[in-house]
Amino acid sequence: MNRIEAIFSFIDEKDKVVDVGCDQAKLSKLLLTRNQCSIASDISEKVIKKAKESIKDDRIDFRVSNGLEKINKDEVDTLVLSGMGTHTIIEILSNTKIKFKKIITISNNYHDILREKMNTFGYIVSEEQIIKENNKYYNLILFVPGNKNYSESELLIGLNHKDIDLYKEYLEYLSNKYKIIKKTSEDKNKKVDKMLEIIDKKLKTV
Ligand SMILES: C[S@@+](CC[C@H](N)C(=O)[O-])C[C@H]1O[C@@H](n2cnc3c(N)ncnc32)[C@H](O)[C@@H]1O
């Protein structure tokens, strides 16, 4: 399963979807296979022009928009933010008053900061899934409305993972990565030690 198929698997037919940062609008295209309309938006005029020309289907509502600026609250209840960094995701959510029933993210970095910050916006982790595409791991997170006190381990390596085999493989990859960092770095790094402790503890239970 690739990233776009994984996102699709978290979307129900009745969901009113906006894919922010849609690029080639692959998700909206996949939604069309079950006749589901969606909004595909991107900050880049050039990107939207290209996507519109290649798909040519008026069931996709293409918009040029910085984050959710050009999206109205009644049009959507499900937000997809995939292929951007945590800080961009946080900025987009800081600048909207829209409340979503579901937010699906695939951030490139700082998943611990994302989980923590989403809590302050009123969203908690419902489920997570590791995806492996072109030999790279991606962390999909499904957020739903709520409030939660996370443990340090939950913030750092996530919770409620679907596809436990791939999650285990990802943890083993992380464990090796941090072991190499520890071996090659001259200074004692407390964060690396903490990560290794948490990952190795988790690996004994999954
Ligand atoms: C790497 S692509 C990800 C494409 C697709 N969502 C995916 O996961 O494969 C990131 C896209 O996000 C768009 N983008 C970056 N910042 C944005 C913002 N603030 N608002 C809307 N789109 C943004 C970029 O123009 C680019 O097309």
Domain ranges of the chain: 3-148, 163-206
Model pLDDT for residues 87-97, shown as the tens digit of each residue? 999 999 999 99
Identity of the residue numbered 156: L
Question: Is residue 153 within 6 Å of ligand 1 at its C-beta?
Answer: no
Model pLDDT for residues 59-115, shown as the tens digit of each residue? 999 999 999 999 999 999 999 999 999 999 999 999 999 999 999 999 999 999 999
CATH topology of domain 3-148: Rossmann fold (3.40.50)
Question: Is residue 22 within 6 Å of ligand 1 at its C-beta?
Answer: yes
Q: Are 199 and 171 in contact (CB under 8 A)?
A: yes
Question: Is residue 66 within 6 Å of ligand 1 at its C-beta?
Answer: yes
Q: What percent of the chain has pLDDT over 90?
A: 94
DSSP state of 87: H
Q: How far apart are CA 155 and CA 63, in angstroms?
A: 34
According to the model, what pLDDT value does residue 185 have? 80
